[in-house]
Structure formats: structure tokens, C-alpha cells
Amino acid sequence: MVARLGAGRRAARRGVRPAGSAAVTGRPRLAAIDVGTNSIRLIVAQARPDGGYRVLDDEKEVTRLGEGPGAALTADAMARSAEAIERLVRIARGHGADLVRVVATSAVREAPNAEDFARLVRESAGLEPEIISGDEEARLACLSAGHAFELRDAPVAIVDVGGGSTEIVIACAGVVEHVWSLPLGAVRLTERFGPCDDPEGEALGRLNRCVKRALRQAGVRADAPLSVMIGSGGTFTNLARVSMRNRRAGRGRDAPLSSVQGHEMLRDEVKRIELRLARRSVAERAATPGVSPERADIIVAGVAIVDRVMKRLGVNRLRVNEGGVRDGLLLEMVSALTAGRGPDPAKRAASARRFAESSGYERDHAEHVARLALSVFDQLAALQPGCIGDRVETARARELLESAAVLHDIGYLIAYAKHHKHSHHIIMHSEITGFTPRERRIIANVARYHRRAEPKPGHRSYAGLEREDRRLVRRLSAILRVADGLDRTHTQSVAAVTLRRREGGWALEARSARDASADVWGAGRKAGLFEREFGHLDIRLARDEPTGPTASAATRPVGRP
């Protein structure tokens, strides 16, 4: 179960060797292939000990997988793209890449014939493409931006404009507050409105109104003034190159350009470039310094999205990130390799606590709940061996429970109402060093279910987990709910707990030197999931009275409502 996170059969099916293989010793080579609506990109890299990587090769093939008026992928586009993926995989293998991942985004996830395309890729390249959600795209773009820039100073927007969709993230002090994935992409809008090269500008006007309406209907907003917008994707890199060429016009058209990474622009410059390109034909755009010829027909739609998002968010400064989804994917792969080698549990727990502190968590309550949860977990594992898994699986599950307990209330950063859901959202879209993406999803779900609704098949995040992970979430959540109930008053009144076997279930004794009846009542109220997973639970309060002539120790049950 937990000890095999990211390994085994599913990893082999993706073409990723398990972390325990010889492939991950030394300095492994990794490859990430991003299958987009407009193009397919490959990065081959060598992992570094510091969690980063060194690029060995970077390839791109424009296949227009998302071409056509409907959501279904055309036969020609699928064939072109599958062949391109097969070539890119051969390049990656030629570089000695031990780990290769192929992720597909908007065009494939929205296509009714996505499985037909996946089958073509399996047959031609021998790999299983991972079809990721819009939220996952946003998270990878955010991971890339966080690695490239310091995001802890002020609220920022992170935007990735692709061929079929646009992902928007609002982050404050390194914590994700909002995520939107919108069906606004450079290829999608060009298919609908054309290249926007009519002299009257009517097509561009309709396109801008469409984008404005979509942003408004989705509720895209910034709750506080944003310092900067960080953009990734081909639209942004082309925009930066045009900007840099314009600024170097006096040095001659062929003056060499430096990297566009970190290039800054103001919104009025973005708008000027949009209008200038819209007045040119597609052929003239292709000849414009800085514009990639294969992007000439879709560049205006992409820049229009950038401009409307900046206006909607009220942000005036743009910084370009050359990374994006592929970069985030590689960083995730490096992190998974590190986790797969068995990182120090203390360092992983410390990483979760640093994140909790950055989110302004209530330390006393969170740490007390974590201690109680681990105490129940340890006693349960000792009294019922195998209830979580084997020895290694149990040790890893204990780490995940500890981190979920420490982080369970960080949703307060957004609001008290539905803070359990906010906690899930924050954990899912943030990077906690040392944990794999799969482990982070488990932690997020356990934190989410510390109160209110129990795990249900209709809950999208929970339903998206592997079967064994859903079982683990239920069991860890059951323990966390009881532990959180034992500090319902946030006064840390319950000093210790003792769990004992009894006929038909369990008896839990909560010891306290003062009246903790409200806490024990709270634990009983939230014990339903525990009982369904482990058996009936009878919770009793053991009151440790002060010493003296009338002192006594009483143990009494506290009824449920």
C-alpha cells in the first residue's frame, strides 16, 4: 500500500521504473513529454542532488492535436501526435533516460475518443499517457513558478496559457488560494474566431468579449492587489521575444537574444503588441521577429487571453517563466525519486510543519491532535497487526497521518466556514518537500475528512484515488476524527489516551486532570467512521483528581448526542 507509492505495476505501465531499481542510483536521467493541444514538448534532464535538474535536450513538435471544430480528436491529428510521441520517446531513451512520463492535457481530457488516442500511444511508444486534470496542470505550472521565482513576498497570479485551456492560480505567501481552469486556449479560440487578421478588427473584438465573459462567469478575481503575474506557455515566450526584439530594434534585427526567463512587461506593452499583430496578416506575423512561424495564426488569440486576464485581475506587471507544465513535471519526478529512496521521516515531518507555520496554523491544537492521533494509531497497530498494512506500509502511513494532523486546520487561512475543504485545496496545490504527489493527495484527503462529511464515492478527489489509497484515507481519517474530537475545546485537556480490546470492539480511555467531558463528547460524536473501519468504540473519561482527603480517580462514560 503506502510503501509502494508510485512504484510497481502502475509505474511500469507508464514506462517509469520503480524507485528501488538500479535506474535511480547515482544521477538518474529523466524525461517529461507534455502533449498539448498545439504542440508536443520533450525535456530530457539529469537530476541533481539539490532537487533540481540539468537540461540535456529540449525538443518540440507542432502536431495541432486539438485541431477541428468538435471535441473529438481527428484521425490525422492522433496519428501525427502518436508518431511524434514515439520519436520523442526514442530521443529520450537515446539519452539514457531511466524514467519517462507522458502527460496529456486539455485536448485529450475533453475528447470523447481519448482512449483511442491512448491506445495509439501505447502501441507506438509503449507508454501509457497520463491524462491530467486542469487543476493538475495548474499545480504543475505553480510548482514550476515557485521553483523559478520567490513567491512568498506578496500575492501573485500564476497563469499558463495553452492551446486548449488556460490555468489561473492566485497564491499568497506561497499558499494557493484560488485555482481556475478555463476552456480558453490559443488554438481553441482561433478555431472559433479565426486568426483575427481582418482590417476592421471585428473578430478580435468578438474574441475579447468572449474571454471577458468567460472570466467573469468563472468568478476569476483577486481578493487583494497582486504584485505580478507569472506566465508560462508558448504565448508568453513568444510575447517576451517580440518585446525583447522591439527593445533591441536599434541594434539590428539579428541581434542575439538572451533567455526570456524572468523577462518583465507592463500591460500596456502587451496590449500594444496584441493590436500590432492583429493588424498584420498571418504571413506577416510569421515574419515578425520573435514570433514562431508555426504560432503565427494563433498568437493573437493567445496574447488577447493574457491581456484580458491581466485586466480582470488588476495586475499591471508580467514576468515570463520558460518552465511551465513540463518543468513542474520534472521537478515532481525528481522529488518522487528522492522520496522513493526513503527520506528521513523527521525531515518530511519538519517540511509539513514549516508549511503549517507559513500558513499561520494553531500550533498548540494541531500538535496536540497529532500526538493523540499517533497514540491511537500506534496502539491500534500493536493490538491489531496488519490493520493498516505490513511493517513498512504502517511506518509510511504513520508519517502521512502525522502530517495530515498537523495540517488539518490550515484552511482557516482562507475562512472558518468549510475550512476542511480549504485545507484539502491548499495541500493539493502546494508543494511539501519530500512527499510524492500520491502521498500529498492522501494527506490532503485525510485532512479534508477530519470533520463533517465522511469519504464518499461522489467526492471527486477521493474517488480519483487508487482503491488501496481510498482504504488508507478512510482508516487514517477515522483516527484523525477521533483525535480532533478529543480536543474539541482547543484547550488540550485530554493528556493521554489508552486503547484496549474488548468484546465486539474497542474501549478508549481519555485521561485528564480537569473536566474534559466536552472533548470526549466531541470524539464520540465523530467516531462513526472509526466504528465502520475498526469496530465499536466506547470512549470513557478518566478524571485524574488533585491529591487530598477527598481525592479519587473516576472513570465514566460520556454519552453521544
Q: Please tell us whether the domain made up of 343-557 is placed in CATH 1.10.3210.10.
A: yes
Ramachandran bin of 344, using left for φ above 0, alpha for ψ from -120 to 50, beta for the remaining angles: beta
Write out the three cell numbers for 480: 484523525
CATH second-level architecture of 2-133?
A: 2-Layer Sandwich (3.30)
Give Cα separations from 293 to 38, 68, 282, 288, 299 (angstroms): 13, 20, 9, 9, 10
531 backbone dihedrals φ, ψ, rounded to 5°? -65, -35
Per-residue model confidence as pLDDT tens for the chain (561 residues):
222 223 333 333 344 443 333 343 468 999 999 999 999 999 999 998 877 899 999 999 999 999 988 899 999 999 999 999 999 999 999 999 989 999 999 999 999 999 999 999 999 999 999 999 998 999 899 999 988 988 766 899 999 999 999 999 999 877 888 999 999 999 999 999 999 999 899 999 999 999 999 999 999 999 999 999 999 999 999 999 999 999 887 555 555 566 899 999 999 999 999 999 999 999 999 999 999 999 999 999 999 999 999 999 999 999 999 999 999 999 988 887 765 455 567 888 888 999 999 888 999 999 999 999 999 999 999 999 999 988 888 999 999 999 999 999 999 988 889 999 999 999 988 778 778 778 989 999 999 999 999 999 999 889 888 889 999 999 999 999 999 999 999 999 999 999 999 988 999 999 999 999 999 999 999 999 999 999 999 999 998 765 544 444 445 555 444
Write out the three cell numbers for 125: 511508444
Ramachandran bin of 68, using left for φ above 0, alpha for ψ from -120 to 50, beta for the remaining angles: left
> To which H or E segment does residue 353 belong?
helix 345-358
Q: How many residues does the chain have?
A: 561
Domain boundaries, the chain: 2-133, 150-320, 343-557
Which burial class, exposed, middle or buried, applies to 48 when counting CB atoms under 10 A from its CB (0-12, 13-18, 19+)?
exposed
pLDDT of residue 176: 86
The DSSP line for 417-465 is TTHHHHHHHHHHTS--TT--HHHHHHHHHHHHTTSSSPP-TT-HHHHTS
Cβ distance 285 to 272 under 8 Å? no
Write out the three cell numbers for 377: 494509531
pLDDT of residue 339: 57
Strand partners, 448: none
- Counting DSSP H helices and E strands in the chain, the numbers are 21, 15
- Cα(411)–Cα(420) distance, integer angstroms: 6
150-320 CATH pick, 3.30.420.150, 3.30.390.10, 3.40.50.150, 2.40.180.10? 3.30.420.150
Quote the Cα angle for 340-346-349, to 5°: 85
The answer to whether 2-133 and 150-320 have equal CATH topology is yes
pLDDT of residue 3: 26
